[in-house]
Structure 1
Amino acid sequence: MNATSLRLFFALRCPTELAERIAQWRDALGLHGHPVPPANLHLTLAFLGQQPSVRLAELGSLAATLKAAPFDLRLDTLVRRRNGLLYLAPSEPPAALQELAEQLHQALRTAGFGLEERPFLAHLTLMRRCTTRPPAANPSFDWSVGHFALLASETSPRGSVYQQIAEWPLLRFR
């Protein structure tokens, strides 16, 4: 990994056991494309792109100030976009997820980090360049979310590898 800059994003990392179940379910659909490895399954909260590594401490301090409650997330909608992106999404995103994303985006913008202007879309990417239409499916994957993380993405000949930089708990505040 380049010591002077890193490709960074904040995300909810899919728990290992759930990621394995989701990957098995996806693989059983028999679709063609580039599947995301189970270890890389996540829901992006904020994509930062290439950032100087000297800003890691600032990002850690910023994340530690967020006051967000844990929540339950149900991934129950399968979507394939025209560009071949296949993902799971919640039909009803929890208010706590939206609040976490909004709080994080606001804090990042205030700190001078440039973010994409498109609205937050809660989704977990399953496959890229999916060339086949998925069959009608009724997925239902439940996830108790209790923390969020800062990840670095490194591209290798075998694809992207995500390294967790730090993690913060979601806590109930009164």
Structure 2
Amino acid sequence: MTTEPSLRLFFALPCPGALAEAIDRWRDQQPLGGRPVARANLHLTLAFLGSQPASQLEGLKRLGAHVRADAFQLRLDQLQTIGHGFACLIPSQIPPPLIQLVEQLHAGLSSHGFALDSRPFLPHVTLSRDAQVQSNAKPPSFDWRVEHVVLYASENTPNGQRYREVERWPLTAPAR
């Protein structure tokens, strides 16, 4: 009997190139230690799905295509350690469109039978794993115009983890 191939999947907000570069440059000047996240992998996870059969991919693409949310501004302005030594940038204020986006995505995933993390949503961009954050480290404000949602596949490569974009969907411009 053959086993169906699986993919490690997650929905996320991709960190734009110029912003990822600025974050990377600032992070590299901090005494965080640990294992820095590659610049190309900087993102904000909306829903982690873990290992899923490849046959689920088309359904997840359809679900992503039905997500309707406005583009929004996100300000990452706090440095915090979460979990087991994950140094992260987080917003001091969560924009309502981000909460609406997460709720809509989670509702769609739940209705399709996906088991999601039961912990409350904490928006964050992981900078380094196994880090040692100094309590007095204060990041500058990183302003991010969020305009897309992406479905990523996490892949192990000889050079470490790589997040491959599977599909991308634009957020709409907010009504004026």
Q: TM-score, normalised by structure 1?
A: 0.93
Please give the alpha-carbon distance, in whole angstroms, between the structure 2 residues aligned to 1:31 and 1:110: 40
* C-alpha contact (below 8 Å) 1:88/1:126 kept by paired residues: yes
Match of 1:46 in 2: 47
Distance change (3 Å), C-alpha of 1:132 and 1:107: closer
- What is the number of residues matched between the two proteins? 173
Name the counterpart of 2:75.
74
Deviations 1:93-113 (A, max 9, x none): 100001000100000000111
Contact 1:11 1:45 (C-alpha < 8 Å) held by counterparts: yes
What is the match of residue 16 of structure 1?
Answer: 17
Q: Counterpart of 1:109 in 2: which secondary structure?
A: helix
In structure 2, do the counterparts of structure 1 residues 173 and 31 end up closer, same or farther at CA, with 3 Å as the change threshold? closer
Residue 128 of structure 2 aligns with which residue? Answer: 127
Alpha-carbon distance change, 173 to 26 in structure 1, aligned in 2, over 3 angstroms? closer
* Post-superposition offset of 1:158: 2.8
* 1:21-170 alignment, distance < 5 Å: 21-81=22-82, 83-133=84-134, 135-170=136-171
Cα shift at 1:114: 1.2
Query: Conserved in 2, the CA contact under 8 Å of 1:78 and 1:139?
Result: no
1:41 partner letter: L
Percent identity reads 50
Q: Structure 1: which 4+ aligned runs deviate by more than 6 Å?
A: none
Separation in structure 2 between the aligned mates of residue 134 and residue 27 of structure 1, nearest angstrom = 17
Q: Which amino acid in 2 is paired with 1:96?
A: P
Distance in 1 (alpha carbons) for counterparts of 2:57 and 2:133: 40
Q: How far apart are residue 118 of structure 1 and its match?
A: 0.9
1:69/1:173 contact within 8 Å kept: yes
Could you tell me how far apart the structure 2 residues matched to 1:131 and 1:110 are? 39
* Paired letter, 1:136: A
Measured in 2, the distance between the counterparts of 1:10 and 1:143 equals 18
Q: Which segment is superposed worse, 34-43 or 23-32?
A: 23-32
How far off is 1:82 after superposition? Answer: 6.5
Q: Report SS of the residue matched to 1:6.
A: strand
1:155-174 residue CA offsets vs partner (Å, 9 max, x unmatched): 23432111000000111477
CA-based RMSD of the aligned residues comes to 1.8
Per-residue deviation, residues 75-101 of structure 1 (Å, max 9, x unmatched): 001102372110001100100001000
Unaligned 5+ segments in structure 1 are: none
- Where 1:45 maps in the other structure, the secondary structure is strand
SS of aligned partner of 1:59:
helix
* Cα distance in 1, alignment partners of residues 33 and 74 from structure 2: 27
